[in-house]
Structure 1
């Protein structure tokens, strides 16, 4: 009789100790699981509000004896993961047999990301560009499709594919296979333009 009582109390004590040690562990698991499920996944726009980028080109045409140098920095502000506003400022110098002409460009734009498939982010960029140089002022209005390749959280490789829109005496058009005046669509892998972007 005494042995059965001791055995029952021993089993009850073991059960109580097991329950006392398992409840805190279950509570901690519940809190951790709740945080994991409730925390939002990081998006493309998180902690990446400002985007600084641009490209550089140098070209020497031996047949025409011309040299062209272009620098095109840009700044964009991301309102959220899909929409951003910014502007590009370009400076291009063309020289031929001692004569030199400098062209300026200002292009405000809006960029809309319509697909995010990490590390690729696809977008459309539309805006108005104004160029000046050589005694001529021109403008363009149009849309450029593009893609951003996320090399890291800070550095992105940016790519443009052509142009859809209208131009009138616009100085910056040679890289896309289009003329300085006219309208239409130019979309070809051969017209791919590359640049680097830094996301802060």
Structure 2
């Protein structure tokens, strides 16, 4: 919910600036040959307690992700890029003050992408990013490698870029429309499964906020 609120705030901020920029004829544009490097970071922690008459339960969750990328404009406002990603999540559950179980997931990804910008203000541009993302993740429960997942995502992400200066841009995007295919190997029951889905998501897990350096 906090991430959604942040995105709405950024949208409102961008809209106000776009109205001010409309007083000029210039719109934000990126010339052929422009390059940028981008870094998206995400951190989240949660703690919950359940106190009952017989037992107490406590759950702790931690998540962190980093996604650096590089892109080059092959024509005005149209970029080709490549990104890498790493995500880690862990959860610990205590029962009556004693560790009951723990789980962790580590994921690595690579995602080539294309991005097109449309200026809507002197410092503001809307973009649509089409990407193909391959992810490899391992899930461990109580230090046992229980599940390995390989997945491909094909889809698009919309977003906004606001130039804080000539070279520094703040960007945000939320949601993804696309198709995902996954293969899951479960060592716990020695099984293998395939999953395919087509979905449109606006949840906070798909919110990306980062900084870009253009040169």
Q: Give me the TM-score of the superposition, normalised by structure 2.
A: 0.62
Q: Which moved more, 1:135-144 or 1:110-119?
A: 110-119
- Name the SS of the counterpart of 2:76 in structure 1: coil
Does residue 185 (structure 1) correspond to residue 200 (structure 2)? The answer is: yes
Q: How many residues are treated as equivalent by the alignment? A: 152
Whether 1:60 and 2:73 are equivalent positions in the alignment is no
Higher relative strand content: 2
Match of 1:62, SS?
strand
TM-superposed CA distance for 1:116, in Å, is 4.3
Give the TM-score normalised by the residue count of structure 1: 0.66
Gaps (5+ residues) in structure 1?
1-40, 171-179
Which has the larger helix fraction?
A: 1
The CA RMSD over aligned residues, in Å, is: 2.9
Structure 1 residue aligned with 2:4: none
Mapped to 2, the partners of 1:188 and 1:137 lie a distance apart of 22
Alignment-derived partner of residue 90 in structure 1: 85
Pairing 1:166–2:166 present: no
* Structure with greater Cα Rg: 1
Runs of 5+ in structure 2 lacking a partner?
Answer: 1-25, 49-58, 93-101, 139-147, 184-194
User: Contact (CA 8 Å) 1:43, 1:81: kept in 2 or not?
Assistant: no
- For 2:119 and 2:172, how far apart are their aligned partners in 1? 15
Shift >6 Å, 4+ stretches: none
| Paired position in structure 2 for 1:113 | 117
The CA deviation string for residues 33-83 of structure 1, in whole angstroms up to 9 with x for no partner, is xxxxxxxx9973248721011211111121342211111111111123320
Residue of structure 2 in register with 1:45 after alignment: 30
